[in-house]
Structure 1
Amino acid sequence: MPFGFDPGTSVALAFALLAAAFVRGYSGFGFSAIFIAFAALLTNPLPLIPVVFACEIMMTAFQARGIRAHIDWRRVGWLMLGAAIALPFSVAMLLSVGEDIARITISGVILLMALLLLSGWQLQRRIGALGHSSVGILSGMCNSAGIGGLPVAAFLSAQPMQAATFRATMIVYLTALDLITLPLLWMGGLVTWDTVIAALLAFPILGLGVWLGGRRFLAASPAAFRQSAVLLLLLLSALGLIRALVM
């Protein structure tokens, strides 16, 4: 098995992968954060970060046809500009100071965002290019730890967006973010042949999870979707803090 996992660990990670793919198929984000948070309970999650990024990219291939008409390309572009600025520094920081310190800080920020959104707060004015790029910088700083989608999800959830636009924009943004991050992780020595083997083994599980999550999305109302997205943010931030503090 890749990374020397025993059969029990491999089966547990496969079930976590299916659950995380379902969430991605439903909400458009959360896959990496859920899987890494679970994997950290069983093993060192650092080598798995490139695997989940490769999985994110593969899942977009499953979803591309259904989301194409709903993507807000302008938002994606400005978010990516900020993320591209931050990512080299983010990866260097992760490799030098360790994942746990970064995750405690990041998860704390996301927890505050989620609690603010649960209060019913929404942005009252249109956010321009500078605001989106600034959130992109924060997202880029988070993404080396595998949770770059959470600040963007919190930011977009606070704006009056259609659920289909939110989901499609998150999917495309995360794919672009991972395509930029993977080469940086490779230069840092985190991408190996085990990464490739694990991603290939994950492919059928990803397809099933995304398909099931997509069917659930089609049956959800816009209000239920937004509430689920905010609650997911809260859960993921809490998992990140618990994992970092107790492990």
Structure 2
Amino acid sequence: MPFDLPLATAAALACALLAAAFVRGYSGFGFSAIFIAFAALLTNPLPLIPVVFLCEILMTVFQARGIRGQVDWRRVSALLAGAAIALPFAVTLVLSLGDANVRLTVSLIVGIMALVLLSGWTLQRRIGAPGTLGVGLLSGAINSAGVGGLPVAAFLSAQPMQAATFRATMIIYLTGLDLLTLPLMALGGIVSWDTALAALLCFPILACGVWLGGRRFLSTPPATFRKFAVLLLLILAGLGLIRAMLS
């Protein structure tokens, strides 16, 4: 078993992976945050973060054909430029944290971002390149904890945007963000053969979850499901904080 995880822990993580892949297939975001927040309840999530990034890249392969014409490439470029500036410093910092501090950091970030998303705040106009670059900086800063998609989801959902464009833009941005983050984590020594093995074992679960989520996207109001995903993040973050305080 990769990372010497107990069988019961691995089974629970597999169930969380399926649920998170379903959310990603439906909404375009939330996969890494849901899975990492759940993993933090059971184990040190840090070694699993590169696995999550590989999983997100694999999921984009499943979804790429259906979203190419719906991506806001200008926003994606500005977001990635900001993330690239922050990532080297952020990854260095998170790799210096201990197990307990990583769990606490993940839960705090997920909780704060979930509250922002749940608040339903809106912007009256489209934000230009400088503001988008700033959101990318924040996203890169917290993606070292595996949850860099949440501030971007909050930023994009606060502006007038069609659901299909939101979903496609999130999928492509998160893939680019993961491709930027993985080499830095490899240099930090937390990418190993176990990382690749775990990603391969995850493949059939990801395929099933993304397929089911994509089908659901065609039949359910996006705002309804997005609210459900955010509430799930908030619950996981709360449980994580409780666990961190009791440990």
TM-score, L = length of structure 2 = 0.91
CA distance in 1, matches of 2:53, 2:5: 19
Matched, 1:77 2:77: yes
Matched AA of 2:197 = I
Which residue matches 2:123? 123
Shift of 1:39: 1.6
Residues 129 and 241 of structure 1, relative CA distance in 2, 3 Å threshold: farther
Matched AA of 1:50 = P
Question: 27-36 or 84-93, which moves further after superposition?
Answer: 27-36
Matched AA of 1:189 = G
List alignment gaps of at least 5 residues for structure 2. Answer: none
Matched AA of 1:52 = V
Count of residue pairs brought into register by the alignment: 247
8 A Cα contact 2:37 2:106, kept in partner:
no
CA distance in 2, matches of 1:5, 1:244: 20
Q: CA RMSD in A?
A: 2.2
TM-score, L = length of structure 1 = 0.91
The C-alpha deviation readout for 1:8-48, integer Å capped at 9, x for no partner, is 22211111111111111111111111111222222221111
CA distance in 1, matches of 2:246, 2:27: 28
Matched, 1:55 2:52: no
How many percent identity over aligned positions? Answer: 72
Which residue matches 2:164? 164
Matched, 1:86 2:86: yes
Three-state SS of the structure 2 residue aligned to 1:177 is helix
Matched AA of 2:192 = T
Which residue matches 1:214? 214
Residues 245 and 24 of structure 1, relative CA distance in 2, 3 Å threshold: farther
Question: 23-32 or 105-114, which moves further after superposition?
Answer: 105-114
CA distance in 1, matches of 2:167, 2:11: 29
Shift of 1:104: 4.6
CA distance in 2, matches of 1:65, 1:168: 11
The C-alpha deviation readout for 1:145-184, integer Å capped at 9, x for no partner, is 0000011111111111111111110000000000010000
CA distance in 2, matches of 1:240, 1:77: 33
8 A Cα contact 1:103 1:145, kept in partner:
no
Question: 232-241 or 206-215, which moves further after superposition?
Answer: 232-241
Residues 58 and 246 of structure 1, relative CA distance in 2, 3 Å threshold: farther
Shift of 1:86: 0.2
Residues 215 and 242 of structure 1, relative CA distance in 2, 3 Å threshold: farther
8 A Cα contact 1:79 1:136, kept in partner:
yes
Matched AA of 1:81 = A
Three-state SS of the structure 1 residue aligned to 2:189 is coil
CA distance in 2, matches of 1:120, 1:40: 27
CA distance in 2, matches of 1:233, 1:43: 17
List alignment gaps of at least 5 residues for structure 1. Answer: none
Question: 130-139 or 98-107, which moves further after superposition?
Answer: 98-107
Which residue matches 1:42? 42
8 A Cα contact 1:21 1:206, kept in partner:
yes
